[in-house]
A and B are shown apart, each in its own frame.
Chain A
């Protein structure tokens, strides 16, 4: 069986269209983010308390709010998740965050004796921890990108490193944009998903780069753009199949992994698609453009020196 027979598509010719599409989508994400004043951070980064409980039977959100009003948490965000019995209660920044969860849980237990809730989970993050996590995350992203740049630079050429990094930025910004448009939260686990997207997208990009490197040696007579196009076409079958298997398992994770992994696997789902797209339409064109200009500049100076 073979999905993709021998192809000969001029991918580079479509780089301008790709650039416009990507630019537009990322811009849309940015606009919504600016409109909201930043991404929707979860309490991991903002600080606060999030409590998940499961009631024995369906319960009205208003009743919970009335009960919590008595202990001063009536302004908390209260909503169902998954079904009518599962309730999420979120309180913004508090100094003594652990006391918030204690107070809310004991209130719910005493106020609803007929329908006592079971505790699913509590996440309480002090404001100090939240800001620390933010700084750490930024540092981690920075170091990850730096390491990748250095590795790709060492193994390939600097141009390839730039292509890879541009594609990674593209992927993360795109996914961030999707999250912003859909109003999904950026939590620690979503951040972990971003790292995975970076790893996956890079994996895909490297495979194409590798082929370009190999073909540059073996097809010295062809011009740079042709070599790149041939390389993408040659690795296309592999790109599609690997993306397909990865997409399928992530889809399984998204549909069966439960509430805890929902946003995490959604980010991966977006990431697999965009990572595959970017290795063909972003990373490689960057290398083509930059590499072409470099080659021309080199040829020019070579001509000059000959004269």
Chain B
């Protein structure tokens, strides 16, 4: 049989050249990274910046500015500038090549993989026209019964409303609308909200200085965020997950407050007199007075006030032990939980211990009825310490916000100054509205001089300053007791905008940098030993033919890596395991062929005839055997995520590559050796 050796040589040559070209960026990047590391080390020695800060400076392009802040000595600074310039050049080179290099997975680099789910129930609640206990329980039921996807949710939603015999238009849309129309509209709003969430998260994640953060939508209402090499995952999660809904709301006048409080009190008293809870209230008399007060305090369980079933809101495992004045508790059960609080005109204080109890009371259906339709209860975001006790503040705020974070143009951090400021020397977040926002803000402040304007962040009051006069410039400050880092993070999320609905993490996979490095080392070591053993075995067992198979094996490895680079696939630890496994299995094709050749030789055929027969007969066996493995790898790819996918990828690429190298390449080598003069004996 005369095969065209030249043609096959050219094809194999092209494949080899293509592979090396694909691998060039990867090799170059790792070389450049080594060089870059020495610059970073030198810069670290000159300044007191750590490696992360230097990297962040290179990413953002403001390394010289950072160095200027960090280095006082002029000669050192000049030296550092020179180094920084070289490092920046190198950094540019790495960035350019990085895209074409083999990417490492989070499990090798270290980093985090987060799956967020947009809270559909909350979103639906947000667009509801009114909220009552019937809607609450219905939504709770829907949430429990629905599956993972958005369509699941809305199917269950329609079903539940139908079953309960409630018309959706009671709570959503316009009165004349049919249920189907309302569901369609809600679906549209949900899809829109998820897309907006994606945008906002993209903006937030861009602030981390992580190279190539990845944010993708999965299904209808899930978002996957991958941050490679991030160090402080906890902080990242805080920034990503904050809803950051900023609202400016007017605080109700004191007389309104008092009226509402007294009404709540009356309602509670009525309820208590009906039950035997009053007896319980007075019976559990415990004189451990923790408040610096002469009154006698009683520890009481909130369950006796409302029973266990009425828990509303997110904090289910609240503190059930509360402070009450015994005498007051009988006369006015609600006011007894509160306390007058110095400092603010319109807010009502409550001991930190009572927060859960008060929240439960104000969220109970009886009390929700009492609170006027245009008012809402909010609490301060952090407790204040007064006479060694922690206190929260409760506010009655106007329901409609005067202005929201939607009009925000800029948010940054500064240190509060000015003698009148409570928080002098503390970090504060400066807000700047855009022109439209500034106009709205000016009108709102102008019309409400001498009233209190609460700055509400995610439903909690950050501060409630007094409006001393019209504010025309569109700027405001959020003061509070945050650290510099908290203030900076707040500015980041405010700049990026609010999320249309709350999101929460449903899956997290974080790998620390040290484990990542361990895995890289373990993977490299296993790969090295594994290949060495296989190569050695083949030479010992099949001699020259084994050597030929080994050449194919090495080429196979090169091909797999090249294909990874070409497809921009990610190399993970299971991926490396897949390569190692392929190395073990790849020789199978050659084993099959060699065993066949041996058989053919045993029947007395010539070397050339035996070789050709061996290849011909083994081909379909190899094909069938490999295709079935390939099929399982495909299914695995389809269903797996992250690292597992990496395994499926390398395994399937490995199978295809091994078929090429084991069949085409080795046969070509045989034919070349055997070409000029026929061998009389084959080393096999």
Contact = CB atoms under 8 A, between A and B. Distances in A.
Interface of A: 1-3, 52, 54, 96-98, 101-102, 105-106, 118-126, 128-129, 132, 136-137, 139-140, 143-144, 147-148, 151-152, 155, 188-189, 191-192, 195-196, 198-200, 202-204, 206-207, 210-211, 214, 234-235, 237-238, 241-242, 244-250, 252-253, 256-258, 260-261, 264-265, 268
Contacts of A195: 632-633, 635-636
A122 B509 contact: yes
B595 A238 contact: yes
6 contacts: A97-B508, A106-B234, A140-B636, A147-B632, A237-B595, A246-B584
A119 B627 CA distance: 41
Nearest to B595: A238
Given A105-B234, A126-B506, A200 B591 contact: no
A107 to B, nearest CB: 12
A168 to B, nearest CB: 9
B588 interface: yes
Nearest to A214: B617
B506 A189 contact: no
Contact of B628 (A132, A148, A253): A148
B584 A250 contact: yes
B556 interface: no
Given A124-B505, A124-B509, 20 more contacts: A98-B114, A98-B504, A101-B508, A119-B233, A119-B510, A121-B511, A122-B112, A126-B507, A136-B639, A140-B636, A148-B628, A151-B628, A188-B640, A192-B644, A206-B624, A211-B621, A245-B537, A249-B583, A257-B573, A257-B577
B625 A241 contact: no
B530 A249 contact: yes
B629 interface: yes
Interface string B596-631: 001100000000000000000100110011111111
A150 B444 CA distance: 72
A189 B643 contact: yes
A121 B581 contact: no
Interface string B82-122: 00000000000000000000000001000010110000000
B529 A252 contact: yes
B583 to A, nearest CB: 6
A288 to B, nearest CB: 19
B514 interface: yes
A265 B509 contact: no
Contact of A147 (B115, B534, B635): B635
B540 interface: yes
Contacts of B538: 245
B581 A196 contact: yes
B329 interface: no
A249 B533 contact: yes
Contacts of A140: 635-636, 638-639
Given A241-B541, A248-B530, A256-B526, A124 B507 contact: yes
A200 B511 CA distance: 30
Interface of B: 107, 112, 114-115, 148, 233-234, 237, 504-512, 514-515, 518-519, 522-523, 525-526, 529-530, 533-534, 537-538, 540-543, 573-574, 577, 580-581, 583-585, 587-588, 591-592, 595, 598-599, 617, 620-621, 624-633, 635-636, 638-640, 643-644, 647-648, 651
A-side binding surface: helix, strand, loop or mixed?
A: helix
A148 B631 contact: yes
B581 A203 contact: no
B625 A268 contact: no
Contact of B237 (A102, A126, A129, A136): A102
Contact of A248 (B573, B584, B620): B584
Given A257-B523, A261-B573, A206 B635 contact: no
Which 8 pairs, one residue from A and one from B, show the smallest C-beta to C-beta distance? A249-B584, A98-B505, A258-B522, A199-B629, A126-B506, A140-B639, A246-B584, A122-B510
A101 B523 CA distance: 27
Contacts of A124: 505, 507-509
Contact of A128 (B234, B506, B573, B625): B506
B631 to A, nearest CB: 5
A78 B580 CA distance: 33
B533 A248 contact: yes
A4 B635 CA distance: 36
B515 A199 contact: no
A192 B595 CA distance: 31
Contacts of B592: 207, 238, 242
Contact of A245 (B234, B506, B534): B534
Contacts of B620: 210
A186 to B, nearest CB: 14
Contacts of A196: 581, 632, 647, 651
B574 A189 contact: yes
B577 A234 contact: no
B234 A52 contact: no
Nearest to B592: A238
Given A140-B638, A206-B624, A261 B512 contact: no
A264 B588 contact: no
A211 B551 CA distance: 28
A139 B631 CA distance: 15
A198 to B, nearest CB: 5
A301 B635 CA distance: 42
A192 B643 CA distance: 10
Given A119-B512, A121-B515, A237-B595, A97 B505 contact: yes
Nearest to B645: A192
A245 B525 contact: no
A253 B237 CA distance: 34
Nearest to B529: A252
A98 B237 contact: yes
Nearest to B630: A199
A260 B526 CA distance: 13
A102 B625 contact: no
A154 B537 CA distance: 36
A144 B639 CA distance: 11
Q: Which of B530, B639, B648 has the most CB of A within 10 A?
A: B639
Nearest to A136: B639
A118 B118 CA distance: 31
B333 to A, nearest CB: 30
B148 A192 contact: no
B577 A202 contact: no
A261 B581 CA distance: 13
Contacts of B633: 195, 199
B368 to A, nearest CB: 25
B635 to A, nearest CB: 4
B530 A253 contact: yes
A188 B644 contact: yes
A151 B115 contact: no
Given A120-B514, A189-B574, A199 B628 contact: yes
Contact of B632 (A129, A148, A246, A252): A148
A260 B642 CA distance: 14
Given A129-B506, A148-B631, A253 B577 contact: yes
Given A140-B636, A261-B573, A250 B581 contact: yes
B614 to A, nearest CB: 12
Contacts of B514: 54, 118, 120
B526 A253 contact: yes
A123 B648 CA distance: 21
A248 B583 CA distance: 11
A258 B581 contact: no
A198 B632 contact: yes
A210 to B, nearest CB: 4
A82 B112 CA distance: 23
A33 to B, nearest CB: 23
A31 B110 CA distance: 40
A246 B580 CA distance: 9
A98 B538 CA distance: 50
Contact of B522 (A96, A151, A211, A261): A261
Contacts of B148: 128, 132
Contact of B584 (A54, A189, A245): A245
